[in-house]
Amino acid sequence: MKEIRVVFFRLEGKNIPWAIFRMALDRRIMRRADLDFWKLLGTGTGETFTVRDADPFRWGALMVGESFPSLEHWMHRAKAMKVFRLAPISVHGSWSKKTPFDGVLLPNSMAEVKSWNGRVAAITRARIKWHDNLKFWRAVPPVNESLHASPGLIKAIGIGEAPIGLQGTFSLWESPTAIRDFAYRSPAHKRAIEATKEIGWYSEEMFARFAVLEESGDW
């Protein structure tokens, strides 16, 4: 049965050069693994989605499949590790021209998706058009302030496939209601949605919500 697994590793400063090297080398491991989809991720604060947000102490991976490669080399170096096992509730858009979460279901039935009332993870990601980067960066701070002030938010971090242009957010929420309130009632978020439609600053985007089936470790 297909699963979605997201893992984050927190490292000490002495291991940062090693992590940068491994992010390049581990692409070979991921390509050889029996995965439907994968992304190696850098992280950041998500405050501006520029290079200055980068958090060199935390790195991550998203994997979709029935079996997963060993990441023991990261486990041995990490001073903290957070692991999520997820199932999609709703997905809009695409990631690298793919719909990576198709065929991943909650363990029991689709009816359970509608009634899910546990913790929810959300992933937003976008490929930003280069000529619209400045417009996007100006729009981020109000949305970010609204996000971090939202009731029910447990944690939010920036995620990225590259320092610039391929940006996103991973957030963890107490319930589906909490994230819906932010998405549809936050004035800053609603203005950003309207601006996205008007300006069209993304060449590709995805917004996905997931049921958190299992959560282990710490940040």
pLDDT 10s digits, 69-123:
989 999 999 999 999 999 999 999 999 999 999 988 776 655 667 788 999 999 9
The domain ranges of the chain are 3-217
pLDDT higher than 60, residue 8:
yes
What angle (nearest 5°) sits at the alpha carbon of residue 160, between those of residues 157 and 164? 120
pTM of structure: 0.85
Q: Which of 10-24, 98-112, 145-159, 205-219 has the weakest average pLDDT?
A: 98-112
Query: Could you tell me what percent of the chain has a pLDDT over 70?
Result: 73
Query: Per the structure block, which two tokens stand in for 139?
Result: 């729009």
- 200 token code pair: 């069209």
pLDDT band at 127 (very low <50, low <70, confident <90, very high): confident
What does the pLDDT read at residue 110? 56
Query: In the beta sheet, which residues pair with residue 31?
Result: none
Q: Could you tell me the pLDDT band of residue 213, with boundaries at 50, 70 and 90?
A: very high
Q: What is the mean pLDDT of residues 146-159?
A: 84
pLDDT, tens only, 12-51? 999 999 999 999 999 999 999 999 999 999 998 766 555 6
- Class of the 3-217 domain? alpha beta
Separation of alpha carbons 172 and 182, rounded Å:
12
Where does residue 101 fall: left (phi above 0), alpha (psi -120 to 50 degrees), or beta otherwise?
alpha
